[in-house]
Chains A and B, each alone.
Chain A
Amino acid sequence: MAPACPSTLEPSHGEDAIMRANRQPVIVGAYESPLRHAPGVHPFDLHADVVSKALVDAGLLPDDVDGFATAAGDFAEGGAFTDLLDVVDYLGLHPTYVDSTDIGGASYLAHAARAASAIERGEAEVVVISYAAVPRWWPIASPYWDGLTQPAGLGQWEIPYSPTLVSSFGLVAQRHMHEFGTKPEHLARIAVSCRQSASRNPHARYRSPITVDDVLTSPMIASPLHRLDCCVVTDGGGAVVITTAERARDCRGEAVQILGTGSALSSLRLSELPQRMVSPAATSGATAFARAGLKPSDVDVAQIYDAFTITVLLSLEDLGFCAKGEVGNFIDSGAIDFGGPLPINTDGGGLSSNHGGRRGMYALIEGVRQLRGTSPGQSVANCEVALVHGIGGIFSAGVTLLLGKGL
């Protein structure tokens, strides 16, 4: 019998080709909680709920799980320093492959990318990635949620000026407007498009359609971002199950291929924003496209992290859907409008459906659902390739996944 590790075989060996194809990582289970408000529910109970339902979706059992990843140390996530241990203990799992990479909102996409590689190398068989948060009722404060860093080290030069999450992104939006003539209407149109998708999603927090004018007349939180430029706040959770293509044959859930992944890190510092007006998405996107052998025009649907309209706007450029500085024209052409040529955030996104503090998991699940044809929101016909992009910090991290239909 051939060795289990493909890397020990000769490249031209036929059996090796079969082994590698069979170890190709696929997402075989996905579940997002329909809840948007969970008063009195501990986030670990939500982990237990979404993990068990994702496993049911996959047709696998907890005993089949040998890998687990989460990040649960942020506000309302229930964990402290050893958050992975906390969650694994509560779930009663005993994984031998583990990951708790914390790069903000993109963390769960990084977990998926690492798990895919580990599975391909034979270091894990069935990996579960899970997320849950209850920001709407959690009473334990996190001291750094608004400024992101401690007022020490490099943070001592920024935190005394009271930066907030919204104003930190406002700095980026303001500069983009100055450099490229981007208008508040362009940002607003992104929110309008997401809300239209949300109107189709029975679980979305906000479903009534809005206009560009509604966005621009909503209260200014930190210029140039209005309330409707900002994501919703919801309780909830979601989980995915990743395994090999070989194992997926015996699974219940329709398998979705992980075609390519890329990740990149940059700075958290606001004084370094001039260096990241081209965000990490430019690197993570290029890497993911190269590994998948695809280009932006191959993408049928894009789930782009929408904590704020500006996170989508900048990512559209940096992922290569349009040239740098051209996103205003791109949006003016109707490209990201509901029903337009590039469907985005088709479940309503963070801007209208759900956002517990980190949205990577929800974006990933919606990408999977679009390829399976099971989205609760706007369903994209003939969906073969889905892009999922997550952001951490203030454009401080980027992780891009390209997913493909079936096997």
Chain B
Amino acid sequence: MMKTLAVFYFIALSLNVFAEEPAPAPSASVAPIGRVLEGRLFEKGTKRPIPEANVFVMPSKQKAVTDSEGRFRFESVEPGPIQFVVNLTGYERLDQSDYSTVDGSNPPRELYLEKTTYQVYETTVFGKQQKRDDSTKTLKASQAAQLPGANGDPVKAVQNLPGVSRAAGFSSQIIIQGSAPGDTSYTIDGHEVPIIFHFGGLSSVILPESLDRIDYLSAGYGPEYGRAMGGLVGVWTKKPDRERLRGFAFVDLINSGAALETPIGERGALQVGIRKSYIGEVLKLAMKDDEDFSLTAAPSYSDFTLVYDHEVSSKSDFRLVTVASQDTLEFVLSEPVENDPELRGDFYTKTSFFRLIPQWTHRHGERTTSRWSLGLGRDWVKFVLSDSFFSLQTWSVTTRLETEQVWNDRWTSYFGIDSRLAWANVSLSLPDFFNGGGVANPISTGENRQVSVRASSHNLGGYFQNDVKIGEKWSIRPGARIDYFSTTDEFLPAPRFAARRQLNESTSLKGATGLYYQPAEEQQSSADVGNPDIEAPRSWHAALGVEKDFRAGSSRGFTLTSGPFYRKFEKLVVPSSSFVTRNGVSVPENFNNSGYGKAFGIESQLKFDFAPYSGWLSYTLSRSVRTQANEPEYVSQYDQTHNLNLIGAVDLKRNWRVSSRLRYVTGNPITPVTGSVFDADNDAYIPIRGAYYSQRVNPFIQLDVRVDKKWIYPKWILSAYLDIQNLTNRKNVEDVSYSYNYKQRQDVTGLPVIPTLGVKGEF
């Protein structure tokens, strides 16, 4: 046994510590007149101690090995010029001149080793981090933030994944495999949040540096989540550093922020971060001469993140996450919109929320682990448009309880509860806002609704999942979920199943299927402005895939993931202008469940890594259609036949990196307007729609480029990036606008070339 350990120890040290070591000193002799020389070895920039590294001092060729704190010590070094030499895999060779004093003892030295590269470009992990679900793709936050076109926001980077449709304009909404944006659920540490982006896409609501990873769950995702027909984007907070005080501050053209991370005691650590935008100030300056548009409160957003992590015992961990976010915008429009005179006067909107998420993980033994977490929160949404307004205040409690039971090395089970209870105060006075085929009627022509109610909704969910390995090649994941939605008073069982077959060392096949429900939105099931008889919309998913690793054991080469998906949508909630009889009187139906549809396609991602070059090509070929009562089938608003993202990066010397993204997306479908009728009471024209989504705007093509540079100082790192979106200044058509009577139309193009410069300092 001792012999085996000795061999192992020798091999381990040989791989790392003794690599490229200078010729050992024939005799690490102790000079009779030598002095003690000691110090610490750190990683340059991060000041992280480097353990188990060989430090040589020349010319005496003495060697010392650093301890866990990076400390080294030479007992006797002759006075005079000396040279420190450290040669460690993954770091630049250190060759540093010094001088050993003749008198007294030498002062402690601090040596800093610079990493070979601070730019790692390995971003997408498929089914590795989240082994429970092959339908999950995971982005590492630290690296996704460096993708071109995302302005340093890792959540935005999800848009580069296959199966994610491109949202129009500046929006970053995640549209999954032909579903609607509202079918995507967003979570922080597993708990639902009302928004994940400030103003729909400017930036995510949580500091990128607080994130560990972003999970993207698409067709066939497992039973531990529900209430989302499309899929889920889950962001997970990072464990704060327990080793040392760290911090950073950044500034770019639209916002700035800072965070501190510190150990608390031996077992705890805290991270606190804050961010504030000033994009509104820029807009204010741009519009100060416009007397018809007065920006009284510039659009601004801010957010706050706190993560406290504590190892309670060897069996228990505690974490507390707090996220708060606020978006505000206020302006006065003196000149009404030409075909919508109601659109004038004071505009004010404020969206804010906070979540307090305590989490407890307890390992009962080697085979049983429980995870409990709560999401305590409040949401505020206020919107004022002249005399019209909408106000919503919601208290919510989300609960996740899960026990993982490892029965044996081939069978693991998960039992869990996933619930959301909410209490809301809603008051509104708004015109009925009809939007058919993506063409909205002027709000001036809508019937005014006034409501002031207190409402509650209770969505209770329970699930059970098994992860079973059968033989050496098969693994299956049978599971089920049952949900209760109080707004529609339905119990909804949802079976789910996934399987994987390992064909050989580099190739595997996978498949998943399941039933998915989501509660109707509050206004859709409201007795006042909706339809109390509405049912929960639902979707059936099926997905197949193949994963092939062409690297043959090397770290260089290609990996491919590809496969078809299919979704069938039923009982979709659609607006209705019909009347129904309820309680003996004729009332507006407002909404019904007459919507149906399907989405299908094939998505592929080819990753390549030929250091220093790396990147991926993702491509989705898909079709998404919908139908409503008495209407022929039409393509969905979010149908994009081709969606291609080509991302490439090269890591250059001196910590430079250049990356680029090229996107090609089929033009979005639009509904033609064939005429109009003048509403003489409301002084606006009502459009007459042609066949829904029967035309398309031109394809979207955009090239984004990003340049990153890091300057590594001994105790801190300065980094800067230049992110240029739409480098070629191509005028991509995002939508069309119409003349007041809809007789003429013109293209609305997207954002022009937009360079963003950011600087960040971290220690």
A, B in one complex: no
Binding site for A on B (CB under 8 A): none
Binding site for B on A (CB under 8 A): none
